[in-house]
Structure 1
Amino acid sequence: MITINKLLVLLFSIFSIGLLTYSFFLSYESQVYRLITYYDFALCIYFLYDFLKQLFSEENKWRYFYTVGWLDFISSIPVITEFRVLRFIRVIRVIKIIRSIRTLIKFISQNKKESLFGFIVFLVVVSIVITSTAVLYFEKDVGNITTAEDALWWTFITITTVGYGDYYPVTGFGKLAASFLIATGIGFFGAVISFVTDKVNSIKSNP
């Protein structure tokens, strides 16, 4: 059965494969690699949640685990330098969902609002990862955003439009990325308010 969660799992699985591929070109000691491992860990928590949800919803849990469940479980393991090649098992997860592409398209057409919100969530996460990674890459030698932790904190206060000012980009590209991230945050919070309002109204109209 296709759900908005399955749609997000598909999108994030494809994105995580791209992150993993990029990480192969980075030094293990680099701060950019460290930042990517943080984001990968967050995605793994989401994938693990999806695995556990699927496991407990199955009537025959052992059958699920020994057929495809173990693949979902392995793909939920965070990046470990010695075993990170195993993460390409996520490709199987993607193929498994894409095989039901017709059902997926039907779900999107019948659940436009939920699907749109899912795509918005995906795009916001992608924007966060790409902008923070790019800012760290360009700022680490010239600005005060020099570590993965600095980049994470800067990203959080920027997308929430708080802007403490303790960390800030000094390059032209960094400032452009910050502007884009602020706009993304404003748009996302507006979408969340609209989505929640719509859900509350639907509950009121269907007591």
Structure 2
Amino acid sequence: MNSVTKLIVALLSILSIALLGLTFFIDQNSELNKLIHYYDLGLCAVFLYDFFIQLYKRKKRWRYFFTYGWIDLLSSIPVMSEFSYVRMLRIFRIVRILRSYKILYAYIISNKRSSLYGLIVFISTVILILSTTLVLHIEQDVGNIKTAEDALWWSYITITTVGYGDYYPVTNPGKLAASILILNGIAIFGAIISYITSKVNTIKKRSSLDQ
């Protein structure tokens, strides 16, 4: 797995702990709690993908699995409010973070440019989650963004700068969050295009050297 992916997974592991920690302080039946669990499901999908990729690339797969691979697998299981004991799995995510510190340091030092792309993706993800959560919290009682699903749809069409106009914030803080999210969308797509261009140029240079 390349440095960018490892950096993103490590940072998202920290983010997942922060999000799950918020669930202790909000109403378990609220739309805000539902939104956090939607994001948790998305993060778990990333962790599960990371686990299978690492398992596939390891030469000694069983050794990987029985050392810390099982921790990676358990950390990819989402927390379900219906089964309170499943929340104990958070400890496995903490273990994953402790292991990720060394990965972060090593790859940031040796791959500064790639690490920058990973950092941009992480910051953009944080902005997306914070903006969506803030808008739902502020607009739920005064605007037309009333459910977690409404907030997710609004954030999607906003970050892609499509702007259908079916859901929109009406308060000043909500509008500010929307403005930040639009700028975030422009930045993330610019970074993705730059990263792809960089990879294509690298492949072209290698091909020219081989010829």
TM bin, normalised by shorter chain, reads: over 0.9
CA distance in 2, matches of 1:70, 1:106: 23
Q: CA, structure 1 residues 76+154, in 2 after alignment: closer, same or farther (shift >3 Å)? A: same
CA distance in 1, matches of 2:130, 2:202: 35
| 1:87 aligned partner | 90
TM-score (norm 1): 0.93
| 2:25 aligned partner | 25
Q: CA deviation at 1:197?
A: 1.7
Q: CA deviation at 1:29?
A: 1.1
CA distance in 2, matches of 1:65, 1:123: 30
Residue ranges of structure 1 left out of the alignment (5+ in a row):
none
Structure 2 letter corresponding to 1:94:
I
| 2:9 aligned partner | 9
| 1:78-97 deviations in Å (ceiling 9; x for gaps) | 11122123223201001112
**Corresponding residue SS for 2:190:** helix
Structure 2 letter corresponding to 1:7:
L
4+ long deviations beyond 3 Å? none
Residue ranges of structure 2 left out of the alignment (5+ in a row):
none
Structure 1 letter corresponding to 2:180:
F
Structure 2 letter corresponding to 1:155:
S
| 1:9-64 deviations in Å (ceiling 9; x for gaps) | 11000010000000111222100010111110000000001111112222332232
**Corresponding residue SS for 2:51:** helix
Q: CA, structure 1 residues 84+112, in 2 after alignment: closer, same or farther (shift >3 Å)? A: same
> What root-mean-square deviation, in Å, do the aligned CA atoms of Structure 1 and Structure 2 show?
1.6
| Contact 1:74/1:89 (8 A) holds in 2 | yes
CA distance in 2, matches of 1:197, 1:56: 27
Percent identical across equivalent pairs? 54
CA distance in 1, matches of 2:187, 2:5: 21
**Corresponding residue SS for 2:40:** helix
| 1:109-168 deviations in Å (ceiling 9; x for gaps) | 332221111101111111111100110011000100000000000001111111111000
CA distance in 1, matches of 2:50, 2:38: 19
| 2:184 aligned partner | 184
Is 1:139 matched up with 2:139? yes
Q: CA deviation at 1:2?
A: 7.4
| 1:72 aligned partner | 72
| 2:154 aligned partner | 154
| 1:205 aligned partner | 205
CA distance in 2, matches of 1:88, 1:54: 21
The count of aligned residue pairs is 204
Q: CA deviation at 1:106?
A: 4.0
| 1:105 aligned partner | 105
**Corresponding residue SS for 1:156:** helix
| Contact 1:74/1:87 (8 A) holds in 2 | no
**Corresponding residue SS for 1:206:** helix
